[in-house]
Amino acid sequence: MGTTAYAEEENDSTAKTDDLNEVVVTASHSASQRLNEVQIGIEKIDISKMGQVPAIFGEKDIIKSLQMLPGVKSDGEGSCGFQVRGGTSAQNLVLVDNAPMYNTGHLVGLFSAFNDEALQTAALYKGQIPAKFGGATSSVLDIATKPGNMYDWHGGVSIGLLASKVFIEGPIADDNASFLLTARRSYMDFFLKADPKYKDNTLNFYDINYRADVNASPKSKMFVSFYHGKDNMAVDDLMEMHWGNTTLSGGWKFTANDKLRLNTTLAYSYYGSNMGYFVANKNYVFDGHIKQGIAREAIDWRPNDRHSVSLGAEAAYQDVLSAEWDCMALHEKNQRSQWDINAWVNDDWKVSNVLEVSAGLRYDHFGIYDNLEPRASMKVNLSKQHCIKAGYSRTTQNIHAIRSSNTSMPMDRYTISTSFVKPEQADQVSLGYIGMTKDEDYDFSVEGYYKWVRNIYDYKDGKMFSSEIEIENLILGGKGRAYGVELCAHKNNGNLTGWASYTLSWSENKIDGINNGNWYTANNDRRHDINLVGMYKIDKRWNASAAFVFTSGQALTAPSAKYKIDGTTFFYYNERNGYRAPSCHHLDLSATYTKHTKKCEQQWTFGIYNIYNRENPYVITFTEDKGNATGTKATQTALFGAIPFIAFSVKY
Amino acid sequence: MKKAITFLSLCLAILTSCEKEIDIDYNSITPLYVVEANISEDGAVAKLSQTLDVIDTLWNNNIENANVTITGEDGSIYILHHDSAGIYSSKEARGIPGKRYTIKVEIGDYVTESSSVMQETFNVSDSYLYKIEMMSDDEYALRIDVEDDGTKASYYYVLVTRNGEPYKWMIMDNRGQYGTTEIDIDCFYDSDSNDDEEDILNDDDKLDIEVRKVDRKTYDFYWSVAIGMDTRSNPIRNFTNNTLGYFSACNINKLPTITFKKQEVEYLDARNRNK
């Protein structure tokens, strides 16, 4: 996951023009926009509506909103990791203003790393990924932050159950330059200090976004964007864990004429994790990081009204510290670095009023590996309201995350492609239909996909992240496949809006040395996903919303036999992921009261997550229990019951 | 204000994180054989059994009709005789440091083998109980100091019995330790919220400690079986033919019995200061 992407500005819902005129970036994605996209499998997030969807702790969260879309699942209940079409969250490329980010969750995924006050647009590419993107085999989430207001000063405060945020924006020079600064911090550790048992513990996160924009001339715009976020956990002076992302990116957009535009980008990205364990006069310290420096040039060219060509090149230097540890007097380190060179060309071709094609090719050079990645998408317009889309893409990924669990954790090991660890590569085909009513009140879509992946990696049996320093000794390689169908229906207009989605999917892996080398259900395989979201505008001050989520049971590895070693009972696992955990479902409700005064907007949000207190499985463990009739106990731990929330915000 | 904050924390705790027992319809498999075998300077012992179904409660799965032999690379052959339930032993089979030994188990037509290299002798300089403060409660642990210059990789296995019954075990290597390899075994957490009542030591409990120096193959088996409970994976195979268990040619040190007296256990820092 090493290369950057260019955040393309979107036209509004009116007809595309021949010229590369400056367009107003809108945050909405209407029915007609969904229909008009040539690329299949693209989801645009409406940032303005994001806050209306009830979410745990009342936090507006782009990732939690994404997880309500067809084909997108969470890593687990309450988690901000997201999985797309059978892939893991480690197979996604997440870009913020062209800089990649990793492990994009605070507090082990309960909050995402993204402050909604800083965001402008977000697009998720889950089907055919455009040739300008590379470095991930499952999806690309492309996020652009918001420029500050070039005319007026604004600010605001939001206070939530567990975290608060502030923002301020304004002109640096009227009409020519602006800035936006946002900050957020949690305060669970303040509550802990009230209990003598936990007062010396630490549990917090914070993040800061800063962006400055300059319009040097009508043809020349520049921006610089900065993000820093960190999580801190500590138990007395016995154990501590820190992780976080820092990104810095700058861009220069030059519009040469009506048909030619150039985008120059420089970006730096850092993700690091650190763990320390100090008990009984022994110390263990673990470190890891991913550092990248990226230079990119992209050209958009419209030679005529039928073709829109994008081409570009990019060079990224990647430095991955898989692990560096100090175990008492032992110091070991596993670090790799490499240049990742890419070039691409893509043409959006309007063949006729019936047929539109987007075709491209991406070239990736990484060390000893050269890969060509064709990308193609096609749209056949059956009428103004109905179309069929199809797509194919090949993608390559050179930064690999090796995990012990579904959820991204600070102790994940990362590595880059080497002579032993080959680049992960995926081919995906998809076919779909989109239709809408004439007034755009309703739109419907159905999309099927099939994906096959080579060179996926997992830990060998009996190995974990700390077993050995050389990661190549810990992992086995194999292949995977995923397929499914996604259905979605939107109601777009009126006091009641929302959507319903259903996904039926399969995900399987085959790795020699695991499960006797047979195909087995992947850790993240879940057969059915249902999302129902409704938002109702009661009056000009009150809005209400509800969200129902259902996922069928997660794949589960359960024992098939037990035995004793030196008097201790252990379990034998005959089949990886041969069982199913209980299903997970919850109903969340919220209401928002908004009051506008001359000076400000005040908003109260009330709600409840999981109103019927369903105990959804977070983890299932198996233990020997001599008091149990079977001698074995399976225990389900649920993380969240019914959680009421309240939040207040004021914006000036 | 403080009461409100404490109450809020309590509310959050009540509303989150709960456990319950669930029913699983476990699959059955053809039982696998399990071998736990050692050869040392004092003789050889092998315990043979089979796996049980997950819902079985009767541990009467010992194997009584096997042929067990150990062969040394010097050509020595030892037959282990059936002693008691699933136990086969030979006092004549004594391992010589540096030599490789191979065990062969035949149960009818079923044959399984493993081999291990006999480890050098070693000294244990100290063993004691201590406690450390952990979030306002005390955690009791056992420390064993093994003399080891750390110049080559070494692996140690510790088995602790309490009043004659298995209590704890630990597998460890000597990475990062030079001069003395300190082995720490967590015993129990002295807290009202401790769920592991079986772990709690009572005054006058007798702890017998056996320390074995084992080879890499045995270490890999024990390490992988320990983490397998968390990773839901099976241990690295030590035997052929899909047999579970281990064969270890090891040197064994049996340490003096420790009688647990709660009031006499010192904090580790205080103990080190008083030394």
Q: Does A571 touch chain B (CB under 8 A)?
A: yes
Note the pLDDT of residue A24: 28
B228 or B50, greater pLDDT: B50
Q: So where are chain B's domains?
A: 27-118+216-249, 124-214+251-274
- What is the pLDDT at residue A513? 87
Does A553 reach chain B within 8 Å, measured CB to CB? no
Per-residue confidence band for B14, with pLDDT thresholds at 50, 70 and 90: very low
The CA distance from B230 to B223, in Å, is: 12
Mean pLDDT calculated for residue range B195-210: 87
Determine the average pLDDT of the residues in B13-23.
72
Look at residue A169 and tell me whether its pLDDT is greater than 80. Answer: yes
Q: What is the pLDDT of residues A421-452, one digit of tens each?
A: 999 999 999 999 999 999 989 999 999 999 99
Average of per-residue pLDDT values in chain A: 89
Q: How far apart are CA A3 and CA A313, in angstroms?
A: 10
pLDDT of residue A274 exceeding 90, the answer is yes
CA A340 to chain centre: 22
A563–B49: do the CB atoms touch at under 8 Å? yes
| Residue B58 contacts residue B81 (beta carbons within 8 Å) | no
Q: What pLDDT, on the 0 to 100 scale, is given for residue A436?
A: 94
Residues of A with Cβ-Cβ distance to B143 under 8 angstroms:
280
With an 8 Å Cβ cutoff, are B22 and A578 in contact?
no
CB contact under 8 A, B51 and A572: yes
DSSP characters over A393-440:
EEEEE-EEEE-SSSS--TT-EEEE--SSSPPEEEEEEEEEEEEE-TTS
Whether B124-214+251-274 and B27-118+216-249 are alike in CATH topology: the answer is yes
User: How many C-beta atoms lie closer than 10 Å to residue B169's C-beta?
Assistant: 18
Q: How many CA atoms lie within 13 A of A5 on its CB side?
A: 29
- The whole-angstrom distance between A575's CA and the closest CA on chain B is 9
Specify the pTM. 0.90
Q: Which residue in the block uniquely carries the two structure tokens 């709600």?
A: A607
Of all residues in chain B, the one with the smallest CA distance to A630 is B55
Is the Cβ pair B159, A566 closer than 8 Å?
Answer: yes
Please give the backbone phi and psi of residue B199, each rounded to the nearest 5 degrees, phi first.
Answer: -80, -25
Q: Provide the ipTM.
A: 0.91
- pLDDT over 70 percentage in chain A: 94
pLDDT in tens, A543-566: 999 999 999 999 999 999 999 999
How distant is the Cα of A75 from the closest Cα of chain B, in angstroms? Answer: 17
- Determine the pLDDT at residue A317: 98
Residue A259 has pLDDT above 90, yes or no: yes
- Which residues face B18 on adjacent strands? A638
Give mean pLDDT, residues A343-353. 96
pLDDT of residue A13: 29
Domain boundaries of chain A, sorted by first residue:
31-651
DSSP code per residue over A508-540? EEEETTSGGG--EE-TT--SEEEEEEEEEE-SS
Per-residue confidence at B4, pLDDT binned at 50, 70, 90? very low
Q: pLDDT band for position A405 (50/70/90)?
A: low
- Quick check: B51 and A463 CB within 8 A? no
Q: Is B180 on the interface with A (CB under 8 A)?
A: no
Contact criterion met (CB below 8 Å) for B107 and B86: no
How many residue pairs from chains A and B have C-beta atoms closer than 8 A?
191
Nearest Cβ partner for B9 among A191, A280, A574: A191
pLDDT confidence of residue B179: 84
**Topology classification of domain B124-214+251-274:** Immunoglobulin-like (2.60.40)
User: Can you give the pLDDT at residue B195?
Assistant: 61
- Cross-chain Cβ contact B135/A198 below 8 Å: yes
Indicate if the pLDDT at residue A2 is higher than 50.
Answer: no
Residue A508: the pLDDT is 96
| Chain B residue nearest residue A78, CA to CA | B16
Question: How close, in Å, is residue B100 to chain A by CA atoms?
Answer: 23
pLDDT tops 70 at residue B149:
yes
Query: Is there a contact between B20 and A634 if contact means CB atoms under 8 Å apart?
Result: no
The pLDDT confidence band at residue B194, using thresholds 50, 70 and 90, is: low
A495 has a chain B CB within 8 A of its CB: no
| Interval A310-345: pLDDT, tens | 999 999 999 999 999 998 888 999 999 999 999 999
In tens, the pLDDT along B224-237 reads: 999 888 888 899 99
- Tell me the residues of chain B between 119 and 148 that have a Cβ less than 8 Å away from chain A: 130, 132-137, 141, 143
For the cut 80, the answer to whether the pLDDT of residue A59 exceeds it is no
In Å, how far is A88's CA from the nearest CA of chain B?
Answer: 18
pLDDT in tens, B54-65: 998 888 889 999
What mean pLDDT comes out for the span B267-275?
A: 76
Chain B nearest-CA distance from A512, in A, is 14
State residue A51's pLDDT score. 66
Residues of B in contact with A194 (CB under 8 A): 2, 5-6, 9
pLDDT band at B81 (very low <50, low <70, confident <90, very high): very high
The pLDDT of residue A406: 60
| Cross-chain Cβ contact A562/B54 below 8 Å | yes
pLDDT digits (tens, 9 = 90+) for A598-622: 889 999 999 999 999 999 998 899 9
Q: Do B134 and A236 touch (CB under 8 A)?
A: yes
Nearest CB neighbour to A572, from listed B136, B169, B234: B234
Query: Of chain A residues 235-254, which have a CB less than 8 A from chain B?
Result: 235-236, 238
Q: Do B231 and A280 touch (CB under 8 A)?
A: no
Residue A300: CB partners within 8 Å, gap ≥ 6?
A20, A260, A261, A262, A263, A308, A309, A310
Average pLDDT score over chain B: 88
Confidence of residue A23 (pLDDT cuts 50, 70, 90): very low
Instruction: State the pLDDT confidence band at A348, using cuts at 50, 70 and 90.
Output: very high
Interface test with A, best of B6, B11, B15, B221 (most A CBs within 10 A): B15
Topology of the domain covering B27-118+216-249: Immunoglobulin-like (2.60.40)
Among all residues of chain A, which has the CA nearest to that of B166? A567
Q: How crowded is residue B7: how many other Cβ atoms within 10 Å of its Cβ? A: 11
Q: How far apart are CA A498 and CA B213, in angstroms?
A: 66
- Sheet with B16-22, side-by-side order of all strands: A617-624, A632-640, B16-22
CATH pick for A31-651 out of 3.30.930.10, 3.40.50.720, 3.30.470.20, 2.40.170.20: 2.40.170.20
pLDDT in tens, A358-388: 999 999 999 999 999 999 999 999 999 999 9
- pLDDT recorded at residue B17: 66
Residue A18 pLDDT greater than 70, yes or no = no
**Could you tell me if B13 lies within 8 Å of chain A, comparing CB atoms?**
no
Q: Check residue A100 and give its pLDDT.
A: 96
- Would the pLDDT of A469 be above 60? yes
Name the residue with higher pLDDT: A231 or B175. Answer: A231
Nearest chain B CA: its distance from A600 CA (Å): 30
Q: CB distance from B12 to chain A under 8 Å?
A: yes
Instruction: Report the pLDDT value the prediction gives residue B6, as an integer from 0 to 100.
Output: 41
A513: left (phi over 0), alpha (psi -120 to 50) or beta: left
Please list every residue in chain A whose beta carbon sits closer than 8 Å to the beta carbon of residue B269: 281
Of all residues in chain B, the percent with pLDDT exceeding 70 is: 91
**Which residue type, as a one-letter code, is found at position A231?**
D
